[in-house]
Structure 1
Amino acid sequence: MNVHDKAYELAKAIKESSEYKDMKEFRSIIDGDASSKSMLEDFRNRQNELQQKMAGGEMPPQEHMEQLQKQYEELARNPRINQLFDAERRLSIVLEDVQRIIAEPLQAMLK
């Protein structure tokens, strides 16, 4: 058994999953709507900026965190974007499960 071959099989299975297909479909719908796409891109950019600051050990001001939360809530009221957020959550759960399953042999060895 070749581990790399299995990894490619897993990547293919993920691409064929309903979670992945749903996310791709909703992303395509949003990309076709300039207003939704712009709002989502702005949110993602602000989110990435805050995450980078936090990864660098800098805690962003509470005000910035609250603004990002308000922006998220506003975006979630957009049905198309809310569908994308839901699809992203579902795919994230699948990927977290896969990560946990893959890590099991290593965890067992460390015990």
Structure 2
Amino acid sequence: MNIYDSAHNLANALKESDEYKEYIKLKEKVYSDPNSKKVFENFKSKVMEIQMAQMAGQELEEEKINDIKELEEAVMKHDTISDLFAAEMRFTQVMNDIYIILNDKLDIN
């Protein structure tokens, strides 16, 4: 079996995982409601903006921190969006675990 076949097999296995299926189901549910989709994407965009600023070594303004906290509180009150974030975190953990396994086996560090 060549390496690309193995990669495709891994991708197929991931698509069949409970974590992925739950993530997709909840994402479709959130995205089926335009308002929920907008709230979800707005929050993710704000989080990404803050993460990028932190990675660039920029100091975060107190106002931005407060804005994201308020937005997070509002988002977490929306059960479906909150569930989607939790499912996304679980699937991301699976992907991180796979990367760790590959990294350990290949001794990349």
Per the shorter chain, which TM-score range? 0.7 to 0.9
1:89 matched residue in structure 2: 89
Q: State the SS of the aligned residue for 2:60.
A: coil
Q: What RMSD over aligned residues (CA atoms) do the two structures have, in Å?
A: 1.7
AA partner of residue 14 (structure 2): I
How far 1:81 moved relative to its partner? 0.4
Of 76-85 and 3-12, deviating more is 3-12
Shift of 1:99: 0.9
Q: Which runs of 5+ in 2 are unaligned?
A: none
Supply the distance in 2 between the matched residues of 1:88 and 1:31 (Cα, whole angstroms): 14
Q: Distance in 1 between matches of 2:66 and 2:99?
A: 31
Compute the TM-score of the two structures, normalised by the length of structure 2.
Answer: 0.87
CA distance in 1, matches of 2:66, 2:11: 36
- The normalised TM-score by structure 1 is 0.86
Rounded Cα–Cα distance in structure 1 between residues aligned with 2:23 and 2:48: 20
Q: By how many angstroms is 1:104 displaced?
A: 0.7
Shift of 1:15: 1.1
How far apart, in 2, do the equivalents of 1:101 and 1:30 lie? 32
Q: How many Å apart are 1:41 and its aligned residue?
A: 1.5
Residue-by-residue CA offset, 1:33-79 (whole Å, 9 max, x unaligned): 12111111111121122222222221221331232122112201101
- Residue 2 of structure 1 deviates from its aligned partner by 2.1
Tell me the percent identity: 30
Q: How does 1:1-111 map to 2 (within 5 A)?
A: 1-107=1-107
Aligned residue type for 2:74: E
For 2:54 and 2:46, the matched residues in 1 are separated by: 12
Unaligned runs of 5+ in 1: none
Aligned residues: 109
